[in-house]
A = this chain, B = another copy of it.
């Protein structure tokens, strides 16, 4: 598990991930996919535990060739009062030093199935591979990703499910509102 102190820094400083998270997916797909999702899960925990019960969904973008972590992000609806600052949008936000062509050679890791907005963002920027921690809690646009020839890998990770379960139990209304639903717990 990553140091909590490390994770409390601004997320722009999190790009330099610890050495064990830098293994290229091409060398050992399963191990590096799981370790990259573990990093995303720590980002999710940061949002929930350190930033006042933010929605715990974390993402990171990794170069397919070098295994270098290019960008990280996490859902910050609660923290920033934003309906659109999902992990993937947070991650893609800044145009500073990363041109769009880099996305074409990367894998996006997300602890929870990508919603349709973030699915569309992956297609817009031609991200060729998406690895999903779990999709039991919420099933997003995986079908749309496949229609656009994006490789989708599902890891079915129990830790991702448990964190979401804890969040939904504690913050039911925030969750329903975030996914645009008017179900139980949502303001009618």
Contacts and interface: CB of A to CB of B under 8 A. Distances in A.
Interface in A158-184: 177, 179-182
Interface stretch (A1-9, A11-19, A31-39, A122-130): A122-130
B180 A125 contact: yes
B141 A100 contact: no
- Count of identical protomers in the assembly: 2
A121 interface: yes
A177 B98 CA distance: 11
A51 to B, nearest CB: 16
Contacts of A181: 100
A55 B24 CA distance: 36
A77 interface: yes
A115 B126 contact: no
Interface string A84-99: 1100010011111001
A99 B141 contact: no
A94 B82 contact: yes
Contacts of A94: 81-83
Interface of A: 77, 81-85, 89, 92-96, 99-101, 103-104, 115-121, 123-126, 141, 144, 177, 179-182, 186-188
20 contacts: A81-B96, A83-B92, A83-B93, A83-B94, A83-B95, A83-B100, A84-B92, A84-B93, A89-B89, A100-B186, A101-B186, A115-B120, A116-B120, A116-B123, A117-B120, A117-B121, A117-B124, A120-B120, A120-B121, A124-B180
